[in-house]
Amino acid sequence: MKMTWDGYGKQLVKLVRVERHGETHEIADLSVCIRLEGDFAAAHSAGDNSHITATDTMKNTVYALASDGTGEIEEFAARLVSHFLRINPAVSKATVDVWESPWARIPVGGKPHGSAFVRAASDKRTAVVSGTREATTVRAGIDDLVVLKSSHSGFEGFRNDIFTTLKETSDRIFATAIQANWLYASTGLAYGTLWQGVRRTILETFAQHDSRSVQHTMYAMGDAVLATFDDVAEIHFSLPNKHHIPFNLEPFGLRNSNEIFVPTVEPYGLIEATFRR
C-alpha cells in the first residue's frame, strides 16, 4: 500500500487577548486552525512518532506566541507558520487558518467605553497563511457577511424544462451571507487597511449593482475588487442564495404587493466563482 498524502494538526484553538492601555483595552477574539505536512510516514506505517509535533503542543504555541501580541491576523498566522517550520525539520509545509470575531465598544453617554464591548457584526475576518521553506502565500477573507437588498434585483430568462416551476421576476429580495477570500500578490502588506477596503468595495458594489442574478452581482463585486486593489491577485466568492418567497395572501382575500415574504433556510442555491486578474 502507498500513502499518497498525509497531514495533521489542531483545530479551533480559541484565543482572546486583552491588550491593556490604562483604562482603554483592545480585544482580539481569534480562532486558529493549524495543519502540518511533511515526513510523517513512519508514524503511520511503524508507529514511530519521533517526527511528530503533538497537537497539544500546537495549541500551547498559539497562546505562547500570542503573549507577544497578535497584530494583524495575517501577521500572527505567518509567525505561527514560521515557528513550526523552524522548530521541526520534518515539517515541509505549515498552513494556519485564523478568523477574528469583531467587538465594538459600547457607547456610554455618547462616548465609547474603554473596556466594555458588544459583538460588532455578523461577519468574521479570516486569514490563511501557507508556508514552506521556499515561499509563503497569504489569503485574507470575510465569512458570514449577511446582506440583503429589496430592490434592483431580479431573475429572468433562465432555462425552463419539464420540471421548472419557478416564476420569473424582475423585483425580488436578494439576500446572502457573503463568503469571500482573496490571494495577496505579495506579503508584508498593510493587511488591515486592505481588508477594510475590500470589504467596503464588496458592500458598495452589492448595494449599487442592478442585479440580474447572483452570478451577475458576484462578477461585479469581483471586478470591482480587482480593479481597485493591485495587491489582490485573485478573489473567490461563495454566495448562498437566502431565498425569500412571496406569501400567498389570496386565500384570505388579500393582495400581496410584493411586501410579505417567507425567508427559507433549506434548501438553498449556492453560487461560487473565482476571479483572477
Quick check: is 83 catalytic? no
The pLDDT of residue 274 = 98
- For domain 8-134, the question of CATH label 1.10.3720.10 is answered with no
Nearest-angstrom CA–CA distance, 79 and 76? 5
Residue 122 has pLDDT above 90, yes or no: no
- First vs last Cα of the chain: how many Å apart? 42
Q: How confident is the model at residue 236 (pLDDT cuts 50, 70, 90)?
A: very high
Say which residues have a Cβ less than 8 Å from residue 68's Cβ, sequence separation at least 6. none
Long-range contacts of 188-194 (CB under 8 A, 24+ apart): 189/138, 189/231, 191/72, 191/73, 191/74, 191/75, 191/127, 191/138, 191/140, 192/72, 194/140, 194/229, 194/231, 194/232
Quick check: is 111 catalytic? no
Identified catalytic residue from 124, 209, 242, 243? 243
Nearest-angstrom CA–CA distance, 247 and 144? 26
- CB burial of 202-212 (b: ≥16 within 10 Å; e: otherwise) equals bbebbeebebe
Which CATH number is 144-276's, of 3.40.1280.10, 3.20.20.80, 3.10.270.10, 3.40.50.300?
A: 3.10.270.10
Residue 144 has pLDDT above 90, yes or no: yes
**Averaged over 107-120, what is the pLDDT?**
95
The pLDDT of residue 147 = 97
**What's the mean per-residue pLDDT of the chain?**
96
Q: Residue 148 forms beta bridges with which residues?
A: 175
Model confidence over 171-200: pLDDT tens digits?
Answer: 999 999 999 999 999 999 999 999 999 999
Identified catalytic residue from 10, 59, 124, 209? 10
SS (H, E, C) 189-221: CCHHHHHHHHHHHHHHHHHHCCECCHHHHHHHH
Burial (CB count <10 Å: 0-12, 13-18, 19+), residue 98: buried
The pLDDT of residue 120 = 87
The answer to whether 8-134 and 144-276 have equal CATH topology is yes
Contact at 8 Å (CB) between 273 and 214? Answer: no
Nearest-angstrom CA–CA distance, 178 and 235? 12
Q: How confident is the model at residue 121 (pLDDT cuts 50, 70, 90)?
A: confident
- Per the document, the length of the chain is 277
**Averaged over 254-269, what is the pLDDT?**
95
User: For the chain, which residues make up each domain, given as ranges?
Assistant: 8-134, 144-276
Nearest-angstrom CA–CA distance, 138 and 131? 9
Residue (of 87, 97, 82, 103) closest to 27 by Cα position: 103
Nearest-angstrom CA–CA distance, 267 and 239? 14
The pLDDT of residue 129 = 98
Q: Which residue has the cell 510516514?
A: 41
The pLDDT of residue 195 = 98
Give 276 or 277, the one with higher predicted confidence: 276
Model confidence over 19-75: pLDDT tens digits?
Answer: 999 999 999 999 999 999 999 999 999 999 999 999 999 999 999 999 999 999 999
Apex 17 CA angle, 52 and 128, nearest 5: 50
Q: Is pTM, for the whole model, over 0.75?
A: yes
Quick check: is 243 catalytic? yes
Identified catalytic residue from 51, 55, 187, 244? 55
Nearest-angstrom CA–CA distance, 31 and 96? 10
Q: How confident is the model at residue 205 (pLDDT cuts 50, 70, 90)?
A: very high
CA-CA distances (angstroms) from residue 265 to 25, 36, 112, 177, 268? Answer: 38, 36, 36, 12, 7
All 3 cell numbers of residue 9?
Answer: 494538526
